[in-house]
Chains A and B, each alone.
Chain A
């Protein structure tokens, strides 16, 4: 038997949501109208750190058109705190506020204007506390801590004899790198509608993890899972900002209070005070031999998780997991700490802890290569982990040949033949490289249901949220391929907890790999049922039946799948159901080992520095993406380029600026996000399909890798151009100019 060729897998099919999104028909949470819906506005704390001494909402409640005002006094007959790892976040501030913009009260009114007017009538009195701003102040024990202490989480691991290795190596390098607080800027700020009803709670929300929201709401309000429905319409960008539970508990409590559905749609300003990426400081000591062999690395670091834990525990851990880099080292010690400060709580953001860790790791690799007089590319290659080697002791070995990947990027970029070429006076050009691997996939748990209808079409039920990444199209491709029907005959129903079976989450680059596997298995379950029906029809064995293009055939005769299904149910209708369970035991325990897969990231940048102004122009950027198998190659490129473009933000200009706990730039005029004119003229994804991921067809995730290597490769290019090392992001013209100025390298 010859190998069957894929029909839709591996093809850049038209997205199933393309027409709806291009025409504006696609519905996001904010487009929905729920009958009787009230509008919510928040009363937020103007102070970053204070005790709440009085909240008086009586004037607001008396305003005509106001249905309810929620304050901490109303948090009765329910659990009051939530959170993914530590339940430290109150549904609404209780006794104390921990960041500027924290909700202290919430109004539900007949319309937004009334709600806005009522907000002005809520009287709140505070007793101001000293503010904890940034990592250094969080480490200073003198002031009042944000929680019981300012330490949110501590993490570490170690192998080998690190101290001995440092004593015995030829040279030791120690450098510290800083990464700023940044904001995701999902185009759709968090939006949520909740209808709290006697026998059920219904939520329509812009959430990435509908089932985690369902579980959290059920726990908070003492309901069974079947009584909580979470519907996630199209999500206007997530990037981690809509991971876990955000504004849903507050809106649910307010709906309970108002006795009617309540809608809250945040502004960009409010979204910037809801979640952000962790600022980080990473210090790396590296011991090397004079021949360029890395023998030991000790990574210590801090992440600033803001006023509440949110995803601070996992980010602290991933920051530590990702900092040593993809290098073969006999001795490693890692210690990271997550710290509370009086700022927006920090949570998941595309590759949690990854850009921060790899910024430090890959900047220092360049420092060392230069000091040893080695080409930074060859220095990396010399120390890379080899295929099948454990990147972190006790964890899944690296799947794929990193050296091959690095050389592919270097070749396509033209690393070895590169020359700066002629430049105007004061302008210097350079190239830089970076690579990293990130442990991805979160947990290996997803389920899917596929219904095969009596006309030969199918409906696929998935828990994944569609936030632009194209999961619905990929799932339709997988189902069509395994059902042996055309792509156009598959419809995907997603992210409604009363309709679709359970999924863990939409994040950590996991959906194609894990939900894809569940859909794959559910479709095969149906195909097997069809083959059994066909075997009965042809009086043959199932193994003898060929299935293709909606038909089963045997010895030159064929029958439509649709006819098989109808015949089974007596002729008029009917359908088959297929299920797919992905658990750690899947495929004989293949998914049990820690980290579902390693996501590979490689970046090569050419940049140009105007040494008179400090302006850096990114001329070329090459990134790699290894999806194992590109089920939809265009979407793979879209993920990689989208992630790299997002990274241009934290590389060149994005930074949430705090002064005494006050956010100075809570808008998109003062907080600059990347636009298309910021892209380099050459912006390429090098696609490698190594075929060894744990997902269907050897696929693995690629949603995050593109974001981690831009900053270090650009800083390395600046160093290559000017000889000046910059260890703090973003690389604004002023920061670059000051660094050049101090080093005596500025022109003009």
Chain B
């Protein structure tokens, strides 16, 4: 690995200025689990790494009303084990527990995972159904975007060169929603990730949020499949109603799957169909049990 300078800012403003000053020659560094691997293998090279862990308080996990605010240097393990997260959004804790391995979870951060924009991210897919927001800091202040606005491609985000993600804001699912997440694959990174959150009232699906990741470069919401589920009765869905199969079919059609080491397009589309059904059934089985 080429030698680099380590900059340790003490506040967000200093980090943003350091980024701006470096003019593309610097990268933010939190857990380093992805970045340092890429640098060691020569895929990336930076003169300066800006260590966001040196910014006090940026690793906090706190409540803002019904929203849990996760600081940019909070590790996967910290999120997984946080009492607020476990109480209000147990599915996030469950998914964080399944990220990579213990060593990665203990140093890798949720925010770093999102910003590195590796296509096979569990949290990036899951947070779409939580409709999470992101606080982005730059030289001129802070702006808020949705999690879906962040990733634009494989390893590409909408962040400006002098901006940094400082917090992930995850609203708890509204009362009455049930949710589940499925992942599949035998590689270290998942081949497929599907998140489903369904709002149920009086035995009828009133809201549906479905997200699909890993099969294509960017995780996405599946609006056509969501539309099919709204208004369907839970008991007929759990019996395998045609709407369940239709939603899964549409999910597969909209998957934008790409061929890679994880599989061919037809196989991935097939997996989306299989796992959308399985995930919806698991979510519905949690009906009334919230997202855990």
Contact = CB atoms under 8 A, between A and B. Distances in A.
Interface stretch (B136-144, B161-169, B270-278): B270-278
B3 interface: yes
Interface string B1-19: 1110000000000000000
Given A116-B2, A613-B274, A670-B261, A737 B188 contact: no
A652 B187 CA distance: 11
Contact of A737 (B261, B270, B273): B270
B273 A669 contact: no
B186 A732 contact: yes
Contacts of A664: 261
Interface string A706-737: 00000000000000000000000000111001
A interface residue count range (under 10 / 10 to 19 / 20 to 34 / 35 or more): 20 to 34
Interface in B257-292: 261, 263-264, 267, 270-271, 273-274, 277
Contacts of A117: 2
A568 interface: no
A339 to B, nearest CB: 25
Interface in A636-688: 652-653, 657, 664-665, 667-670, 672
B187 A613 contact: no
Contacts of B2: 113, 116-117
A668 B101 CA distance: 13
A246 B127 CA distance: 49
A667 B267 contact: no
A13 interface: no
Interface string A507-542: 000000000000000000000000000000000000
A734 B267 contact: yes
B155 interface: no
Interface residues of B, number: 20
Given A116-B1, A667-B41, A653 B186 contact: yes
A223 B2 CA distance: 39
B189 interface: yes
A665 B1 contact: no
A187 to B, nearest CB: 15
B139 to A, nearest CB: 33
B264 A672 contact: no
Given A113-B3, A269-B41, A669-B187, A748 B274 contact: yes
Interface in A206-254: none
B3 A672 contact: no
Contacts of B1: 116
A351 to B, nearest CB: 24
Contact of B267 (A653, A669, A670, A738): A738
A657 B41 CA distance: 18
A162 interface: no
Interface string B66-87: 0000000000000000000000
A613 B184 contact: yes
Contacts of B37: 669
Nearest to B34: A669
A653 B262 CA distance: 11
Interface string A94-122: 00000000000000000001001100000
Contacts of A657: 261
A669 B3 contact: no
Contact of A652 (B186, B263, B270, B274): B186
A669 B189 contact: yes
Contacts of B40: 267
A672 B267 contact: no
Contacts of B187: 653, 669-670, 672
Contacts of A613: 184, 271, 274
A748 B240 CA distance: 12
A651 B40 CA distance: 30
A113 B45 CA distance: 13
A669 B264 contact: no
A612 interface: yes
B93 to A, nearest CB: 20
Contacts of A612: 274
Interface in B23-57: 37, 40-41
Given A113-B2, A652-B186, A737 B267 contact: yes
Interface in A495-515: none
Contacts of A669: 37, 187-189
A615 B270 CA distance: 13
Nearest to B264: A734
Nearest to B3: A113
Given A613-B271, A734-B267, A738-B267, A665 B186 contact: no
Interface in A616-646: none
B263 A734 contact: yes
A383 B265 CA distance: 45
Interface in A114-133: 116-117
B186 A733 contact: yes
A491 B123 CA distance: 53
Contacts of B277: 748
A653 B188 CA distance: 11
Nearest to A652: B186
B260 to A, nearest CB: 10
Contacts of A668: 188
A669 B187 CA distance: 7
B279 to A, nearest CB: 13
Contacts of A269: 41
Contacts of A748: 273-274, 277
Nearest to A112: B1
B23 to A, nearest CB: 22
B117 to A, nearest CB: 16
B44 to A, nearest CB: 14
Nearest to A610: B274
Contacts of B267: 734, 737-738
B11 to A, nearest CB: 31
Nearest to B271: A613
A734 B274 CA distance: 13
Interface in B216-256: none
A394 to B, nearest CB: 44
B116 to A, nearest CB: 13
Nearest to A655: B261
A672 B274 contact: no
Interface of B: 1-3, 37, 40-41, 184, 186-189, 261, 263-264, 267, 270-271, 273-274, 277
Given A734-B267, A737-B267, 7 more contacts: A116-B1, A116-B2, A613-B274, A615-B186, A672-B186, A672-B188, A733-B186
Closest 10 interchain pairs by CB?
A: A734-B263, A612-B274, A734-B267, A669-B188, A653-B186, A748-B274, A113-B3, A672-B187, A613-B274, A670-B261
21 contacts: A113-B3, A116-B1, A117-B2, A267-B40, A613-B271, A613-B274, A615-B186, A652-B186, A653-B187, A657-B261, A665-B261, A667-B41, A672-B187, A672-B188, A732-B186, A733-B184, A733-B186, A734-B264, A737-B270, A748-B273, A748-B277
Interface of A: 113, 116-117, 267, 269, 612-613, 615, 652-653, 657, 664-665, 667-670, 672, 732-734, 737-738, 748
